[in-house]
Amino acid sequence: MNRNDLRRVDLNLLIVFETLMHERSVTRAAEKLFLGQPAISAALSRLRGLFDDPLFVRTGRSMEPSARAVEIFALLSPALDSISTAVSRAAEFDPATSTSVFRIGLSDDVEFALLPMLLKRLRAEAPGIVLVVRRVNYILMPGLLASGEISIGVSYTTDLPANAKRKVLRRSQPKLLRADTVPGPLSLDDYCARPHALVSFAGDLSGFIDEELEKLGRKRHVVLAVPQFNGLSTLLAGTDIVATVPDYTADALTSAGGVRAEDPPLPTRTFELHMAWRGSQDNDPGERWLRSRIQMFFGDPDSL
Measure the CA–CA gap between 129 and 111, rounded to whole angstroms.
18
Please tell me the predicted confidence (pLDDT) of residue 59. 83
Rounded to an integer, what is the distance from CA 261 to the centroid of its chain?
27
Alpha helices in the chain (DSSP H): 11-23, 26-33, 37-51, 67-90, 108-113, 115-125, 141-147, 188-193, 208-215, 232-236, 247-255, 285-298
Measure the CA–CA gap between 107 and 112, rounded to whole angstroms.
9
pLDDT by 10s per residue, the chain, length 304: 556 666 677 788 888 888 898 888 888 888 878 888 888 899 899 899 888 999 998 887 788 999 999 998 888 877 777 777 666 555 678 999 999 999 999 999 999 999 999 999 999 999 999 999 999 998 899 989 988 889 999 999 988 887 889 999 999 999 999 999 999 999 999 999 999 999 988 888 888 899 999 999 999 999 999 999 999 999 999 999 999 999 999 999 999 889 999 999 999 989 999 999 998 888 899 999 999 999 999 987 665 5
Q: Which helix (H) or strand (E) holds 56?
A: strand 56-59
Domains of the chain: 3-87 (1.10.10.10), 99-170+270-296 (3.40.190.10), 173-268 (3.40.190.10)
Measure the CA–CA gap between 128 and 189, rounded to whole angstroms.
54
**Region at 9 (left for phi over 0; alpha for psi -120 to 50; beta for the rest):** beta
Complete edge-to-edge strand list for the sheet that includes strand 221-226: 221-226, 195-199, 242-246, 174-178, 260-262
* Whole-number CA gyration radius for the chain: 24
